[in-house]
Every structure is written in structure tokens, then in C-alpha cells.
Structure 1
């Protein structure tokens, strides 16, 4: 199953590279797109959930790395919950 990496820029300018166990994440993010924080979290949950389900379909169990990545994203997003204008940019997606 091809792994993917997606690079983020958080609202404070901090950059992070995130993991997806499959190409499913590319269905949820567009390189260069800017997403309001709530929408970014929604897309992260859907995309990493779909990627984890692809792993489950193939190997019989969900992907703990995808679920762990989602947990890290949700934890990092807590820093910006008081900023309603917070935007996350997806800098790129690559294998």
C-alpha cells in the first residue's frame, strides 16, 4: 500500500509533515489549498479514516499510525481553537 506524506503550515507558520498509509488522503486535500481550522479537522478525520479503512480491508485491522497521526493533528489544532480565523495550508502531498 503506497504511503503518502502531506506537509502542513499551521496558522502560526509552524510547518509539519504528516503521514497517511494510503493515497486516500489525496482525495481530501489539495496541495496549496487553505482550509479553515474546522474544515481542515473534518477533512483530516475523513481522509485518515478512509486511509485506515483501506488498511483494514487489506490486512484485517485499522492502521494505528493513521489514527495516531490524526490524534497528533487534533492535539496540535487545540492551540488555535480561540482563533476563529485560523487557517491551515496544505503545502504539498507526496509519496
Structure 2
């Protein structure tokens, strides 16, 4: 993404996604759910800067987070609620 929006904007997006995530979830900022929050913010920044959506990273992080949640035994309802909050 840095090639599309620059290193500074990526760093800003990651920092703010983590802050939002920590306020909403009070969980580890390195968790798979936190990476989904980062993907959402960075995708929005790419879209705002370039005028095109970056769905690839959203899909990939969403898949990864879903697999991690299933491995932890998290119910589908909880996963969907997390996606809706993000």
C-alpha cells in the first residue's frame, strides 16, 4: 500500500486503526481482529487517495481473522458482530 499512498499515510493509518481498535475491543493490538481494523482504515485511505477500492487486503485479512476465530472456538455470530463493529 505504501506505493499507493506513501509510508507516512500508512503509518498514520496503522496508528489510528490500533487506537480505534483498542478503544472498541480492549484487546491485543497485534491480534488478527486488529489487523482487520488496520486493513479497513488503510483500504479507506487508498480509496480516498486513488479513487479505487483495495478489496484484496480486506478479503485476505478477513479470511485470516475468521480462521483464527474458528481455531479459538469463537462462534460465527461473534465473528459477524466483530466485522459489523469494524
Higher strand share: 1
* TM-score, length basis structure 2: 0.49
* TM-score, length basis structure 1: 0.45
